[in-house]
Structure 1
């Protein structure tokens, strides 16, 4: 799914228009806290969907929708160029919908709902922290936790109640962004990051009294490459 770039475009426009801002260089020991809008836009690619070990169609799969929440970052500067950043957020909620001839043909839209938290620790490098405009890049490690998984109402209408499990994920994360020094230790921040998030989804039929005559215990499985782009616009404060 594609996320709008309007917040990032607005942030870039503000950065381009701000002139005469007195710059304060980052130094070892500086602590930067940021908060703002963060959108997770999954790629949503998946393998074929299997039920009881049988493929539901060569083009069967799932797609995952976008969500926007409060994003938080905490950065500790090791020196004027290098810092360690932790990404946090309020829980993201995602709906997974069926794709392909079988799922769409059966009228199955929503197949599962889940919440997730993607804490990420990154090393960040600022190209010129002496200036008011401070561009940076980052590389780090992500651990995504899935919870509150539920069967989608459309799918459960034909399978009955489902037990849903999504495996947690480890993966790399990369980002580009900038801080704009607004004075008085205030910052405007914008960033774009890619996170490698892969999960195996397992939906287990709880009872055999269902429209598809699936035996109780039948497992519906697929591997999902969520691999989202994450867009953030934040206000920060340097201590």
Structure 2
């Protein structure tokens, strides 16, 4: 209890002694920290044209989450309005398929990497000139997918269904996406240059998926995969 009381006392003193600060036109600051992409998506039914099957009811694909290094850079045009660029190291996501409608259960599809550069206008709430500065933002996201790969389990499953006598090599392609992005966050000043930052974003990411075989052509398609992730970030920032 004594240790806890001491910790709380120090934290309270730190908060009370935090410096007041305000951004000015021409300020530029960068941030780095952890960014978690948590897909909150849905998809159209899975079609298997390679086996003569159209969209199968009660089937879908799912994308798991991933955490990477998140980077942002912001330029302030006024004391309250700025332009923010979001970047990151590549996110990698495992993809699975719910094939319950086809009586096949859940199967791993493969994985992909993506980069989600996003440009946003950010508005720091007018009048907040103390250490705590909340903001809202809206912008445009461009997500590019690359390094797509198909799981060996799916290659074996398609080989069995096609009567190939073994796994068949498959390739997966995901279309790039362009959509809106919304963000809310806050900066908390440590001193005149350094600050802490936390934010949450919702990004519209929609793609189409196609899995093919060189000899058999298109095997699997999904007309629309709405990934639409929430992105959570905790950063340390530095102002120039």
Q: TM-score, normalised by structure 1?
A: 0.86
Partner of 1:229: 230
Q: Deviations over 1:156-191 (max 9, x none)?
A: 122221111100000000000000011141110000
Partner of 2:6: none
Q: Which runs of 5+ in 1 are unaligned?
A: 1-13, 208-215
**Residue 124 of structure 2 is aligned to residue 116 of structure 1:** no
**Residue 100 of structure 2 is aligned to residue 92 of structure 1:** no
DSSP-derived class of the 1:57 partner:
coil
1:26 to partner: Cα distance: 0.3
Partner of 1:51: 48
**CA distance 1:16–1:112, change in 2 (3 Å):** farther
Is contact 2:41-2:227 (8 Å) kept?
A: yes
Q: Decide which structure has the larger Cα Rg and report it.
A: 2
**CA distance 1:16–1:34, change in 2 (3 Å):** farther
**CA distance 1:193–1:85, change in 2 (3 Å):** same
1:153 to partner: Cα distance: 2.5
1:134 to partner: Cα distance: 0.2
Give the paired residue count. Answer: 217
Q: Which runs of 5+ in 2 are unaligned?
A: 1-10, 159-167
Question: How many Å separate the matches in 1 of 2:140 and 2:40?
Answer: 19
Is contact 2:21-2:192 (8 Å) kept?
A: no
1:54 to partner: Cα distance: 2.5
Q: Write out the 4+ residue segments of structure 1 that deviate beyond 6 Å after TM superposition.
A: 14-17
1:55 to partner: Cα distance: 3.0
1:20 to partner: Cα distance: 1.9
1:64 to partner: Cα distance: 0.3
Partner of 1:24: 21
1:112 to partner: Cα distance: 2.4
Partner of 1:9: none
1:57 to partner: Cα distance: 2.4
